[in-house]
A = this chain, B = another copy of it.
Amino acid sequence: MTVIIVLRETATESELSQVLNLADRVGSDVRRHSPHLLSLTGDLATVDQAVAHLPQVRHVAGVPGQYPCASAQARIGLPSSVRLGDATVGPGGFTVIAGPCSVESRDQLLEVAHAVRDCGAHALRGGAFKPRSSPYAFQGLGRRGLALLAEARRATGLPVVSEVLDVRDLDAMLPAVDMLQVGARNMQNYALLRELGRLRVPVLLKRGLAATIDETLMAAEYILDGGNPDVVLCERGIRTFETGYRFTLDIAAVPVFKERSHLPVIIDPSHAAGETSRVLPLALAAAACGADGIIVETHCDPAAALCDGKQALPTHRLPELVDGVLQVARAAGRLTADRRAGEERELVLAGAPAGPVAAARVVRR
């Protein structure tokens, strides 16, 4: 079993060494993920007996799956949050990210971006590089799209979320993008995930359309293990036999992700819906079931969109969407209860690991 040891923030290097030495005696595959988080393979009771009595040890726990950094226990059951511009994706809020499927032109993007800002949404999404099943479909404006996103950010003050397809595009993307999205098709592109782990830019990791919840968390672990602590998970629909819509939105993944991991979880209702009329009901369900936000496709003129127009919400319906999800999130007890939880957390975590969950190094085998 994988066992984690969480140290107190006040632990010194020599106190850490002491724990590492003990861990090495009672287990194997001892890894140091950060100054305050270790994991090893071993027997929980044995590890607990060996180290739990030390003053520098805060918490010892067995973790299911192979994602010690992403596990709920790595933060003693307290959810983490990720900054995105002025917003925080996590407890005490409900983040709305909206924008076009792909950046098509300056006019299109700026018009949508202003609508997104005006309705009170928190961030702008827009694809400059588009993964398309067919090599002959529109693949995005590329670097020109990035420039337009940067302009939209300047014009509206909104942070920008955009998808990365190729490690070789990262240098061009970083100046224009506040959160890098990994699409469903690349969720297990480990070369890309490793590279994102080396950055200090928030990552929005979409679940693959046949990825299990645990596989998604292991994909997140690739990024966390690299030292980048800022990962937001995104449920966007899985593939099933039903053809009445585009993908089956797996709403129950939200509570299960939250049982198993501290990472924030948002929902993409657009790709699952497949059609505009179903976006609102799915977004409301997201707000009710405990998700930390949504990412929605919107367009001023959906019928003219170069990509996924059928599922894009017209911008004039954005206010209804934003008001709706916030009202439901409030009714579901999220905004107030979570704010309280957030405050309690501050108290609880004073002295707990606040730094990044950094690159694991196998200390000994």
Q: Does A294 contact B (CB under 8 A)?
A: no
Q: Does A16 contact B (CB under 8 A)?
A: no
Contact residues in B for A214 (Cβ distance below 8 Å): 244
For A, the interface residue count at a CB cutoff of 8 angstroms equals 72
Among A53-61, A108-116, A285-293, the stretch in contact with B: A285-293
- Nearest neighbor of A31 in chain B, beta-carbon distance: B136
User: Residue A134 contacts which of B221, B239, B241, B285 (CB distance < 8 angstroms)?
Assistant: B221
Contact residues in B for A221 (Cβ distance below 8 Å): 134-135
- A:298-354 near B, CB below 8 Å: 324, 327-328, 330-333
A282 touches B273 (CB 8 A): no
- Nearest neighbor of A256 in chain B, beta-carbon distance: B244
Q: Does A21 contact B (CB under 8 A)?
A: no
Contact residues in B for A167 (Cβ distance below 8 Å): 166-168
Q: Does A146 contact B (CB under 8 A)?
A: no
Q: Does A95 contact B (CB under 8 A)?
A: no
Among A86-94, A150-158, A187-195, the stretch in contact with B: A187-195
Contact residues in B for A249 (Cβ distance below 8 Å): 250-252
Q: Does A14 contact B (CB under 8 A)?
A: no
Q: Scoring A residues 119 to 148 as 1 if CB is less than 8 Å from chain B, else 0, what string do you get?
A: 000000000000111111100000000000
- Nearest neighbor of A191 in chain B, beta-carbon distance: B166
Report the minimum CB–CB distance from A220 to chain B (whole Å).
10
| Cα A277 to Cα B250 with chains together (Å) | 17
Contact residues in B for A29 (Cβ distance below 8 Å): 136
Contact residues in B for A166 (Cβ distance below 8 Å): 167, 191
Contact residues in B for A225 (Cβ distance below 8 Å): 135-136
A137 touches B66 (CB 8 A): yes
Contact residues in B for A188 (Cβ distance below 8 Å): 131, 133, 185-186
Q: Does A240 contact B (CB under 8 A)?
A: yes
B212 touches A191 (CB 8 A): no
| Cα A136 to Cα B361 with chains together (Å) | 10
A-B pairs, 10 with minimum CB distance:
A210-B210, A331-B331, A288-B288, A166-B191, A185-B188, A66-B134, A284-B288, A285-B285, A285-B289, A281-B289
